[in-house]
């Protein structure tokens, strides 16, 4: 199972990097969403996954799943949501003001 999920993490990262390198701001945001999901999956996988065993249930700690990555990933997902909402709002505001979605038009503050 881990090997499948690791490949999925790789695919998500590749797709995310591809999208981030496109010229549109919206595609950039989609790329960031893909990469942040890949990251969440990676953190979730970090302790190794065990099928059918819940954390914190039962007497023997040896037979429990590690609860910490699950807690970490929940927090990270929530933070990710907040950031995605903000970036979309920023993109909307920018589009409203300038009417462009092209990252190549964003060179007024650089020089």
Partner 1 sequence: MQILILPILLPVVFIVPLILSKSVRLSRGLGITSSILLLVIALILFVSVLKHGILTLFLGGWEAPYGITLVADTTSALMVLVSAFIAFTISVYSLFMVSDDLVRSKFYVFFNSLILGVNGAFLTGDVFNLYVWFEVMLLSSFVLITLGNNKAQLEGGIKYMAMNLIGSLLFLIGLGLLYGKTGTLNMAHLATILNEDNNNILMNTSSVLFFVAFGIKAAVFPLFFWLPASYHTANISVTSLFAGLLTKVGVYVLFRFFTLFFIQDQDFWHQLLLIIAAATMLFGGMAASVYYDSRRILSYHIISQIGYMIMGLGIYTPLAIAGAIYFTIHNMIAKTNTFVIAGLIAKKNGTFDLKESGGLLKASPILAILFIIPALALAGVPPVSGFFAKFFLIKGGYEAGDYIITSIAVFTGLLTLYSMVKIWFEAFLKPVGNKNKNSSGFSFIQLFPSILLGTASIALGIFASYGYDIAIRAANELFSPEAYIHAVLNK
Q: How far is it, in rounded angstroms, from Cα 41 to Cα 4?
A: 12
36 binds partner 1 per the rule CB under 8 A: yes
Size of site (CB under 8 A) for partner 1: 34
105 SS3 class: helix
Restricting to residues 53-82, name those near partner 1 by CB under 8 A: 68-69, 72, 75-76, 79, 82
Task: Give the separation between CA 53 and CA 65, rounded to whole angstroms.
Answer: 6
Please tell me whether residue 90 binds partner 1 under the rule CB under 8 A. yes
Burial classification of residue 72, based on how many CB atoms lie within 10 Å of its CB (0-12 exposed, 13-18 middle, 19 or more buried)? middle
Residue with smaller CB distance to partner 1, 50 or 106: 106
Using an 8 Å Cβ cutoff, are 103 and 25 in contact?
yes
Question: Would you count residue 35 as binding partner 1 (CB under 8 A)?
Answer: yes
Q: Does 91 bind partner 1 (CB under 8 A)?
A: yes
Check residue 5 for interaction with partner 1 (CB under 8 A): no
By CB under 8 A, name the one of 32, 49, 64, 88 that touches partner 1: 32
């Amino acid at each position: 199972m881990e090997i499948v999920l690791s490949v999925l993490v790789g695919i998500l990262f590749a797709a995310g990097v591809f999208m981030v390198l496109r010229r549109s701001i919206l595609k950039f945001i989609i790329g960031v969403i893909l990469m942040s999901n890949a990251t969440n999956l990676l953190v979730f996988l970090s302790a190794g996954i065990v099928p059918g065993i819940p954390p914190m249930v039962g007497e023997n700690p040896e037979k429990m799943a590690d609860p910490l990555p699950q807690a970490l990933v929940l927090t990270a997902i929530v933070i990710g949501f907040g950031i995605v909402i903000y970036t979309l709002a920023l993109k909307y505001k920018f589009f409203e003001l300038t009417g462009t979605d092209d990252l190549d038009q964003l060179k007024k503050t650089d020089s």
